[in-house]
Amino acid sequence: MESSANLTAEQALTDSLLPSSSAYSGFPYLEAVIGFMICMYFFETYLDLRQHKILALPTLPATLKGVVSDEKFGKARAYSLDKSRFHFVHACFNILEEGAILSFGLLPYFWMKCGVLLENWGFNPENEILRTLAFLGATTVWTQVVELPFSLYSTFVIEARHGFNKQTVWLFFKDMILAMLLMVVLGPPIVSAIIYLVQKGGPYLALYLWGFMLVLSLGMMAIYPVLIAPLFNKFTPLPEGELRAKIEKLASSLKFPLKKLFVIDGSTRSSHSNAYMYGFFNSKRIVLYDTLIQQCKEEEVVAVLAHELGHWQLSHTMYSFVAMQVLTLLQFGGYTLVRNSTDLFRSFGFSTQPVLIGLVLFQHTIMPLQHLVSFGLNLVSRAFEFQADAFARKLGYADSLRGGLIKLQEENLSAMNTDPWYSAYHYSHPPLVERLQALDKYTKKDE
């Protein structure tokens, strides 16, 4: 009798939390969010179709004829088409999943269930921090399980088919488990701090949240490359030799405070290549993927780094960081305006107003602005890339950078043909054709 009574009460609570047109008659936030998601899905699918059509073209762009071999073009074309087909399936699944989660009230259902589980385990279900952590745990497990087939197929079918995947199934799951353990360690204190700040923040809540996230981002920038990244990859100093000497000479000529120069074993997981910089003030580090060193000549590697150092010299990194901080502050300011909105929570099926849920719902409601901001940031990023290319060219690396860009495009089997609309909307870096045209144009002016 007691279990039956509990089940009835639980069902009643569940029914009260699920969205109901008769229970809520305010502004239709839920319907607006779902409607926008569907519109964006069709718009982005249209762009994907345009790109897929371009990817299927059997000929190289005029700029790349005689530069990229037919063999590499054929491989890049096959790889791009495979990824494009996979993306259609994945995107369709995602919109159906997200639409179902919102339409059928699965978020409030999970929230209710987490309260019931905490009570069954002897915890206070009214403790918002505990309940939020339980909710995050449940939704994270759900996401991992649902996305696992797609990740496995992408890694062990598509990437393997085209010669990129180098990791074993064991290493794949090891990385996934390690990432989840890091979330378990780092997530609770961060989430707890955010909830505490929202509960106690008062009229300066937006500033407190922004300040916390600023300190957190700076802290993560400091500890990630030192404590977290080495858990996944091995970092070794670049051996003495001509490459190291050339990089140190370049850094010295630009007064770049290079303290350490590492090589990362990216080849243990993939044959894709990369390079990046990190560090604060007078303690900078450069990291080269071993695949980059294998695929490019020494001068081409140095030219690629000259491009990256151009971002530093031209303060692109600082501008981007400041822009993100301003956007974060504005987002938190917007959140403070709606965090106590009963209509917002009720529209999505919640009878209470948990802090984390409020942040999630707010992110859903500002999706149109997020898309516009993302588009604007991409425009700025592409302009920065052209400027960094020009910086490397002025240092005398035009030919080497040109060769390096072509080599990276070939070795990574990146798309050779791109639709201008798709590129403008999605790409944070200009397509290779545009970068080569810009390099050639200004190189001729210099001659």
Helices within 201-264 (DSSP H only): 205-223, 229-232, 242-253
Q: Examine the residue annotation and report whether 389 is marked as an active-site residue of this protein.
A: yes
**For residue 196, what are the contacts with CB-CB under 8 A and spacing of at least 6?**
129
Residues 348 and 30: beta-carbon distance below 8 Å: yes
Q: In what order do the strands lie in the sheet with 235-237?
A: 235-237, 258-264, 283-289, 275-280
Angle between helices 205-223 and 169-200 (to 10 degrees): 150
Tally helices (H) and strands (E) across the chain: 19, 4
Consecutive H or E run containing 264:
strand 258-264
DSSP annotation of 239:
P
Query: Which of 44, 41, 40, 39 minimizes the C-alpha distance to 419?
Result: 44
> What is d(CA 148, CA 173) in angstroms, rounded to the nearest whole number?
10
Dihedral of CA 36/39/41/47: which sign?
negative
Phi, psi of 25 (to 5 degrees): -135, 20
C-alpha distance across the termini of the chain, in Å: 91
User: Which one of the listed residues 128, 290, 308, 411 is annotated catalytic?
Assistant: 308
Tokens 């030919």: give the residue: 399
Distance of CA 124 to the CA centre of its chain: 35
Query: Which of 348, 350, 332, 331 minimizes the C-alpha distance to 198?
Result: 332
The residue type of 232 is: F
> What is d(CA 281, CA 284) in angstroms, rounded to the nearest whole number?
7
Dihedral of CA 387/391/394/398: which sign?
negative
> What is d(CA 296, CA 388) in angstroms, rounded to the nearest whole number?
19
Does the annotation list 316 as a binding residue?
A: no
- Parallel, antiparallel, or unpaired: how do β-strands 258-264 and 275-280 relate? unpaired
Query: Which of 155, 154, 180 minimizes the C-alpha distance to 169?
Result: 155
Q: What is the CA radius of gyration of the chain?
A: 25
Does the annotation list 52 as a binding residue?
A: no
Q: For residue 132, what are its two tokens?
A: 């939020």
List the beta strands (DSSP E) in 63-179. Answer: none
> What is d(CA 26, CA 122) in angstroms, rounded to the nearest whole number?
37
User: Which one of the listed residues 159, 290, 300, 389 is annotated catalytic?
Assistant: 389
Tokens 């339980």: give the residue: 134
Residues annotated in a binding site: 307, 311, 385
Residues annotated in a binding site for Zn(2+): 307, 311, 385
Catalytic residues: 308, 389
